[in-house]
């Protein structure tokens, strides 16, 4: 690669990842580490969504389908087949990617676009949720409990920081991957398909192949987030793994952070979950008891504010007011 | 005339339900030529063009390119074998810069980012888009967008360039600026098929002109021959127009 670390755009990624990596030395409280770990899981799921929707323009409302495939994949491989979770991890990611390919093939070949594609993804996620809730293989409504055996060789860590760093390495890898894709031919084709599919085809872009590649990668990345989720909480059920909450957070984070940018999902997840947490704490303090769903109200307000005033997300606003941020554009 | 033309369309028919948009139309495009396809509104020019570009399959007939049947070849594969098109209603990638727009085309032959970007810059300079390289494509004027359409298509390094009304919507001075651009593209070795409404441009640019009226090819030949063909005059100006014109000319000569 010609040019230095910063002109090629990898510099900002390095800085952000290092800053996040040293964060646990500042906090020792388990609750904070738990929260940060969860933020990274949502970031990873959102990065998967951002690749397909932010860069490729194919808006999915059902990324829970991939998240759940990852979560159930890694959990069932251990519980039903006795596989080591480290071995189950790549299999579960592959399962998510394959789900992406199949879903993409069915909908893109039928030339579904825009809201039709969004509805089909939503339908897939819901069908998976209902099936996982009904089938005995997936543990039905009782869900799947991964037996507690704390050992790094067993993907369960005594030190919360280890999990955090592991999740961070996933996020860092996808940051690099996204940046690399954005500067590659595949990335240019992906954006071209987003902007105008017919014009892209006229220029030699195989739109179907490009979209299939994107949804496969997207499915794999979001499935990895599902794997981390399952290993963090050691329990999943149909509503956790395939529920609409993750579909919503996976799309809200990039939209609020900055859609179609490398850092958008990370910035959005931090802001979204951070504000949600602060609001919850504030209302508990104010009223002396938890107000269920108050964080969802915050999400809704954030989304409205973003759509109205910051269509390019928080990073877009920062870039407008701070010239220093312009250099880091993907 | 050479043995096989670069592009040959034989017996192209396209039906939309009961409507026959193109009816058994044939057209040859000789390598190195600028061939014009003209006709009154609703003649089926755009449909015919769409079939050649691979954006619609004909109901009947065949399209061959360098002697190879490409009738069923999808649009993106046609770009690969050297057929590029522009759109009548310009279709820029509005969110991207001019440079990035052209680079999408350049990536077809130059997979690396730096090579594609360099190629995009070359082509932008050739088409007079140099000063707008970093501008957003959405901010270009109509004339700028038409140039961008051509630049992007050229970036795929085609041997046949299909231009769909690149002069429509331009003012006379912009048209005057555009004509040498089109000619320069041909002189660089690219064969051009141009669908056009602006007659003055067709007369100046084309070696051969084919006229489509109500889905049928009614005339072919050099621009001056076609322009005085009574069938063509009637197709444009209505039944009996040719006779009236002749009568008028006769009267003024007398």
Nearest CB to A189; choose among B104, B114, B152: B104
Q: What is the dihedral of CA B182, B186, B187, B189, to 10 degrees?
A: 150
B50 — phi, psi (to 5°)?
Answer: -60, -35
pLDDT tens, residue by residue, B31-83: 999 999 998 888 899 999 999 999 999 999 999 999 999 999 999 999 999 99
Q: What is the pLDDT along chain A (330 residues), one digit of tens a residue?
A: 344 555 677 899 999 999 999 998 887 788 889 999 999 999 999 999 999 999 999 999 999 999 999 999 999 999 999 999 999 999 999 999 999 999 999 999 998 989 999 999 999 999 999 999 999 999 999 999 999 999 999 999 988 899 999 999 999 999 999 999 999 999 999 999 999 999 999 999 999 999 999 999 999 999 999 999 999 999 999 999 999 999 999 999 999 999 999 999 999 999 999 999 898 888 888 888 878 888 888 888 888 998 888 888 988 888 888 765 554 444
In-domain check, residue A204: yes
Binary contact (B87, A192; C-beta < 8 A):
no
On whether the CB atoms of residues B210 and B30 are closer than 8 A, the answer is no
**To probe the interface with B, which of A57, A201, A202, A311 has the most B CB atoms within 10 Å?**
A202
In a domain, A73, yes or no: yes
Cβ neighbourhood burial of B19 (10 Å; 0-12, 13-18, 19+) = exposed
Structural domains of chain B ordered from first start? 7-253 (3.40.50.300)
Would A271 be classed as within a structural domain? no
Predicted pLDDT of residue B132: 93
Chain A partners of B95 at a C-beta cutoff of 8 Å? 191, 194-195
Size of interface A-B (CB pairs under 8 A): 78
On whether residue A198 sits in a domain, the answer given is yes
In a domain, A251, yes or no: yes
What are the residues facing B135 on neighbouring strands? Answer: none
In three-state secondary structure terms, A330 is coil
Taking an 8 Å cut-off on Cβ atoms, the answer to whether A203 and B156 are in contact is: yes
- With CA atoms as reference, the chain A residue closest to B90 would be A199
Q: Could you tell me which residues of chain B have a Cβ less than 8 Å from any Cβ in chain A? A: 53, 55, 74-76, 79-80, 84-87, 91-96, 100, 103-105, 107-108, 111-114, 116, 152-153, 155-156
The shortest CB-CB distance from A188 to any of B84, B95, B103 is to B103
Q: Which residue of A has its CA nearest to B93?
A: A195
**CATH number of domain containing A74:** 1.10.3470
Q: Are A203 and B155 inside 8 Å of each other by CB?
A: yes
Residue-averaged pLDDT of chain B: 91
φ/ψ (deg, to 5) at B157 = 55, 60
Q: Which domain holds residue A64?
A: 10-256
Give the per-residue pLDDT at A328.
Answer: 45
Q: How many domains does chain A have?
A: 1
Comparing CB atoms, the residue among A184, A189, A203 nearest residue B113 is A184
Instruction: Report chain A residues touching chain B, CB-CB < 8 A.
Output: 2, 183-185, 188-189, 191-192, 194-196, 198-207
What pLDDT does residue A330 have? 40
Q: Is B109 exposed, middle or buried (0-12, 13-18, 19+ CB in 10 A)?
A: middle
More confident site: B244 or B22: B22
Which residues from B are below 8 Å from A111, CB to CB?
A: none
For residues B51 and B73, the answer to whether their CB atoms sit within 8 Å is no
Partner-chain residue, chosen from B112, B116, B156, that has the shortest CB–CB distance to A204: B156
Res A5: pLDDT: 55
**Position A310 in a domain:** no
Q: Kindly determine whether residue A188 and residue B104, on different chains, have CB atoms separated by under 8 Å.
A: yes
Provide the 8-state DSSP code for B213. Answer: E
Range scoring the smallest mean pLDDT among A24-38, A118-132, B134-148, B155-169: A24-38
The SS3 call for residue B83 is: strand
CB A241 within 8 A of CB A226: yes
Question: Could you say which of B86, B96, B108 has the minimum Cβ distance to residue A204?
Answer: B108
pTM, 2 dp: 0.90
- Is A298 inside any structural domain? no
pLDDT reading at B1 higher than 80:
no
| Confidence at residue A288, expressed as pLDDT on a 0 to 100 scale | 83
Q: Which residue of A has its CA nearest to B100?
A: A188
DSSP A15-49: HHHHHHHHHHHH---HHHHHHHHHHHHHHHHHHHH
SS (H, E, C) B13-26: EEEECCEEEEEEEE
Residue B204 has a pLDDT of 87
User: A interface mutation test: which of B105, B109, B123, B158 has the most A CBs within 10 A?
Assistant: B105
The alpha-carbon radius of gyration of chain B (Å, integer) is: 19
Which pairing describes strands B191-195 and B34-38: parallel, antiparallel, or unpaired? parallel
Chain B residue with minimal CA distance to A195?
B93
- Report yes or no on A83 lying in a domain: yes
Contact between B179 and B166 (Cβ < 8 Å): no
Integer Cα distance of A87 and A83 in angstroms: 7
Q: Are A203 and B82 in contact (CB under 8 A)?
A: no
Percent of chain B residues past pLDDT 90, beyond the cut: 71
């Amino acid at each position: 690669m010609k040019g230095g670390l910063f002109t090629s755009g990898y510099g900002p990624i390095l800085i952000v990842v290092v800053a996040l990596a040293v964060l646990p030395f500042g906090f020792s409280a388990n609750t904070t580490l738990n929260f940060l770990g969860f933020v990274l899981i949502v970031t990873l799921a959102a990065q998967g969504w951002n690749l397909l929707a932010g860069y490729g323009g194919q808006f999915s409302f059902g990324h829970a389908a991939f998240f759940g495939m990852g979560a159930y994949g890694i959990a069932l491989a251990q519980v039903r087949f006795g596989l080591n979770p480290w071995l189950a991890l790549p299999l579960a990611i592959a399962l998510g990617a394959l789900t992406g390919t199949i879903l993409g093939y069915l909908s893109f070949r039928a030339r579904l676009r825009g809201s039709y594609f969004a509805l089909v993804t939503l339908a897939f996620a819901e069908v998976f949720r209902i099936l996982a809730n009904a089938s005995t293989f997936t543990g039905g409504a009782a869900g799947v409990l991964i037996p507690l055996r704390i050992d790094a060789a067993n993907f369960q860590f005594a030190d919360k920081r280890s999990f955090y760093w592991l999740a961070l390495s996933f996020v860092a890898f996808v940051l690099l991957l996204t940046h690399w894709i954005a500067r590659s031919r595949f990335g240019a084709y992906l954006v071209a398909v987003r902007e105008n599919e017919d014009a892209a085809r006229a220029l030699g872009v195989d739109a179907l192949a490009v979209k299939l590649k994107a949804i496969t990668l997207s499915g794999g990345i979001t499935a990895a987030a599902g794997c981390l989720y399952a290993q963090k909480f050691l329990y999943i059920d149909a509503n956790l793994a395939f529920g609409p909450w993750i579909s919503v957070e996976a799309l809200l984070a990039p939209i609020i952070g900055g859609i179609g940018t490398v850092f958008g999902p990370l910035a959005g997840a931090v802001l979204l979950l951070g504000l949600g947490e602060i609001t919850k704490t504030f209302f508990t303090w104010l009223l002396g008891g938890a107000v269920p769903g108050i964080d969802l109200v915050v999400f809704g307000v954030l989304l409205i504010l973003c759509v109205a005033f910051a269509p390019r997300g928080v990073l877009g606003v920062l870039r407008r007011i701070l010239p220093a941020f312009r250099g880091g554009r993907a | 005339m050479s043995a096989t033309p670069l592009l040959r369309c034989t017996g192209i028919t396209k039906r939309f339900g009961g409507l026959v948009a193109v009816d058994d139309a044939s057209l040859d495009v000789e390598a190195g030529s600028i061939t014009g396809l003209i006709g009154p509104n609703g003649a089926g020019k755009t449909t015919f063009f769409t079939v050649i570009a691979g954006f619609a399959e004909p109901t009947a007939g065949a399209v061959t390119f360098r002697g190879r049947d490409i009738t069923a070849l999808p649009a993106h594969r046609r770009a690969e074998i050297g057929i590029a098109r522009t759109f009548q209603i310009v279709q820029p990638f509005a969110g991207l810069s001019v440079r990035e727009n052209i680079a999408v085309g350049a990536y077809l032959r130059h997979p690396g980012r730096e090579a594609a970007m360099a190629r995009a810059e070359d082509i932008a300079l050739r088409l007079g888009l140099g000063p707008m390289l970093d501008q957003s494509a959405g901010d270009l004027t109509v004339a700028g967008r038409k140039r961008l359409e051509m630049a992007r298509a050229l970036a795929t390094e085609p041997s046949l360039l299909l231009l769909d009304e690149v002069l429509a919507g331009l003012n006379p001075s912009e048209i005057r600026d555009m004509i040498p651009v089109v000619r320069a593209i041909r002189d660089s070795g690219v064969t051009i098929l141009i669908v056009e409404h602006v007659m003055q441009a067709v007369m100046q640019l084309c070696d051969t002109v084919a006229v489509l009226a109500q889905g049928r090819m009614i005339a072919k030949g050099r621009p001056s021959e076609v322009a005085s063909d009574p069938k063509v005059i009637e197709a444009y100006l209505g039944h009996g127009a040719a006779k009236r014109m002749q009568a008028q000319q006769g009267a003024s000569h007398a």
